């Protein structure tokens, strides 16, 4: 009887710790570049079981690194990204065939808005020389605007499709867009 109680207790601990790890997606599984994080093995056959589980929960069917590199930002330099704040994303041409920045809610889906604008891409971004600014806010602020609606947190995904070799060589150092919080309500 005591054996089965201990076994059941062990199984419960095992299940709970597994769910905890999958939900928390610990930092050691990621490569950090400023506020952006990425995984070079996500989606690939080299992925470890933990990465596979985390990818299945949050980023199902991502492309492997030969095709695309995904960077995720859940915060600016100080705080988690909040739908009650306005943000300016400042960047330059990125070393890839094409790129996009997309806004997602905590549920990993697009945030509903009446304009049906969810992203800015290298094909539609309005640039000044080789640099650009994207505004993520409730009210429209100039060009390259992604509307924020609702309450709670959100995150950004930067996709680099067919990235240049420098992306793989300097994953931690390549210059990625800066996320600047402009004010909160």
Partner 1 sequence: MIKAKGLAVIIFFAVLSHLAVVYAFPYVVVMSSYLATKDEVKVNEVYHQKPVDASFRKVVMPSPDILYSACVYDISRSDLLIEARVPKFTYWSASFYSLSTDNFFTVNDRMVGEKVTLMLTTNKSCMNEKCVVSPSERGIVIFRIFIPDKSLLPALEEFQRSIKCKEIPRS
Contacts with partner 1 by CB under 8 A lie at 2-3, 6-15, 17-19, 21-22, 43-45, 47, 49-50, 52-53, 55-64, 66-67, 97-98, 100, 102, 104, 108-113, 116, 118-119, 121, 123-124, 157, 159, 161-162
Please report how close the Cβ of residue 173 comes to partner 1 at its closest, in angstroms.
25
Q: Closer CB to partner 1, residue 21 or residue 31?
A: 21
Q: Closer CB to partner 1, residue 52 or residue 153?
A: 52
Number of H helices, E strands in the chain: 3, 11
In Å, the largest CA–CA distance within the chain is 74
Cα distances from 141 to residues 66, 88, 116, in angstroms, run 36, 10, 16
Please report how close the Cβ of residue 31 comes to partner 1 at its closest, in angstroms.
18
Nearest alpha-carbon partner for 181 in 51, 14, 35, 62: 35
Q: Closer CB to partner 1, residue 78 or residue 116?
A: 116
Q: Closer CB to partner 1, residue 33 or residue 102?
A: 102
Please report how close the Cβ of residue 142 comes to partner 1 at its closest, in angstroms.
20
Residues 6+ apart with CB under 8 A from 110: 102, 103, 104, 118
Please report how close the Cβ of residue 152 comes to partner 1 at its closest, in angstroms.
14
Distance of CA 111 to the CA centre of its chain: 14
């Amino acid at each position: 009887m005591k054996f089965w109680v201990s076994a059941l207790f062990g199984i419960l601990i095992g299940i709970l710790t597994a769910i905890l790890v999958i939900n928390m997606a610990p930092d050691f599984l990621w490569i950090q570049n400023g506020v952006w994080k990425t995984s070079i093995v996500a989606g690939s056959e080299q992925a470890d079981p933990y990465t596979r589980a985390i990818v299945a929960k949050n980023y199902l069917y991502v492309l492997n690194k030969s095709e695309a590199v995904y960077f995720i930002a859940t915060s600016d330099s100080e705080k988690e990204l909040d739908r009650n704040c306005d943000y300016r994303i400042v960047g330059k041409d990125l070393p890839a065939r094409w790129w996009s920045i997309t806004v997602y809610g905590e549920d990993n889906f697009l945030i509903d808005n009446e304009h049906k604008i969810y992203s800015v891409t290298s094909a539609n971004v309005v640039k000044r020389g080789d640099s650009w600014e994207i505004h993520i806010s409730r009210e429209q602020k100039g060009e390259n605007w992604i509307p924020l609606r609702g309450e709670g947190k959100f995150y950004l995904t930067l996709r680099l499709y067919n990235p240049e070799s420098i992306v793989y060589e300097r994953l931690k150092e390549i210059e990625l867009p800066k996320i600047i919080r402009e004010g909160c309500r």
